[in-house]
Chains A and B, each alone.
Chain A
């Protein structure tokens, strides 16, 4: 169980997160949604200990340190790999550092994405880099897989295929926290949606509850954000009047 209690994070002159309380249970696939700058990436970086914060984050009751950090993996569109190394060199590196590295899954995903093994990652396209970043996160052998907009730059077919593969390979105890703007694409894949706005949790709902209520994820997000449907038509009307 990954528990976040009273988490706050401020940068100089700006509050990024305010008193976040969130619990991620084993086996959940959680979509983390919010506008740009809402605090999604900051939340993930606090969980991983990349940033200093106020509050408490525990993994099965223990603080996250070098002793248990291997239970968390991270895929980011910023890319965390070594660009000069090949994919096979990364595999060896991960196998040495992460004892539960999933060799079989790695082979399968490398084949699925058709990624070359002996070319340095810096020569990959952005899409391929994203794919490899996600492969490493999924194969590390972590219990909690954090993904921060992992497919920014990938085409829609690639993304859809990947979500299908992902739902097939995840084991029951693996938890995914996925931050993305692509709500419709992940709607069928996630089990829970967490909405973050201005650094605070604005909504937290299980997809089964949404289904029971006959709502879509996009509808729920719009409702939570009090999205004004006539916003565009009013703006257009104002603009036309000006002319």
Chain B
């Protein structure tokens, strides 16, 4: 068991600080942008929370941070110039397939953390909005309504929409697997583009309004099919090209 834990820790140690850095940068950038927009909002003009979130560019910052996180996760086990980690991986008692899966689990956890971090930042900014605005501009339903009206906020916290929640879970699962597969393919002299395609798909289609069951199902199918192909490629016997 300790063998598996140590392999898992390789991925954690390779990514945790960088990902935490991205989270902090993202939170700082979103906080500053939101604060600036909040200050610009006229005292007598009603500015809805979701409008403020959108106009401060938080979805864009979030998308950029998401791409960075995907990049960091994809590089676990990647062989840069002057590094042949395959020679260590192939000498372990743990099979390479298991190693790739464990690194995929690390990626999934990191993406869950990203989801949670982005949600926490948005909730903190909402608190800031409520504290800063005149009480006349918000009520007990403000937050609830904002998360229903805004496609970005709704997809971040899909209240009462199970299909969106499942779509997000499917995306995290697939991105985790394909990110781990990316480095494995590189070690085998192949190219893994699945993670880039899935990340692009996520960026484009993540913000979706309430009630888009068809879109949710389509993305879920695409994500899970990609994950299935990636899983197949992990277990396919592939020769290392020398």
Contacts and interface: CB of A to CB of B under 8 A. Distances in A.
Chains A and B are bound partners: yes
A52 B14 contact: no
Interface string A67-97: 1011011101011111111000100110011
B49 to A, nearest CB: 40
Given A51-B240, A81-B85, A70 B93 contact: yes
Interface stretch (A42-50, A104-112, A178-186): A42-50
Interface in B1-58: 2-3, 5-6, 9-10, 13-14
A196 to B, nearest CB: 17
A145 to B, nearest CB: 12
B83 A79 contact: yes
Determine which residue in B5, B84, B87 has the highest number of CB atoms from chain A within 10 A of its CB, and name it: B87
A134 to B, nearest CB: 14
Interface residues of B, number: 25
Nearest to A78: B84
B14 to A, nearest CB: 4
A89 B12 CA distance: 11
A97 B83 contact: no
B80 interface: yes
Determine which residue in A11, A67, A97 has the highest number of CB atoms from chain B within 10 A of its CB, and name it: A97
A60 B82 CA distance: 33
Given A83-B83, A129-B82, A48 B13 contact: no
B87 A80 contact: yes
A66 interface: yes
B139 interface: no
B91 A82 contact: no
Contacts of A11: 242
Nearest to A77: B82
Contacts of B94: 97
Nearest to B84: A78
A74 B85 CA distance: 12
B88 interface: yes
A146 to B, nearest CB: 10
Contacts of B87: 48, 50, 74, 76, 78, 80
Contact of A93 (B10, B83, B86, B242): B10
Interface residues of A, number: 32
B204 interface: no
B228 interface: no
Given A50-B240, A66-B93, A96 B2 contact: yes
Interface string A2-20: 0000000001000000000
Interface in A28-64: 42, 45, 48-52
Nearest to B93: A66
B1 to A, nearest CB: 10
Contact of A89 (B2, B3, B13, B93): B13
Contacts of B83: 78-83, 122
B67 to A, nearest CB: 19
Contacts of A66: 92-93, 95
A84 B78 CA distance: 10
Determine which residue in B10, B14, B82, B95 has the highest number of CB atoms from chain A within 10 A of its CB, and name it: B82
Interface in B50-108: 80, 82-88, 90-95
B88 A82 contact: yes
B10 to A, nearest CB: 6
A48 B86 CA distance: 12
A48 B91 contact: yes
A49 B6 contact: no
Interface in B139-184: none
5 contacts: A66-B92, A76-B84, A80-B84, A80-B88, A96-B3
Interface of A: 11, 42, 45, 48-52, 66-67, 69-70, 72-74, 76, 78-85, 89, 92-93, 96-97, 122, 126, 129
Interface of B: 2-3, 5-6, 9-10, 13-14, 80, 82-88, 90-95, 239-240, 242
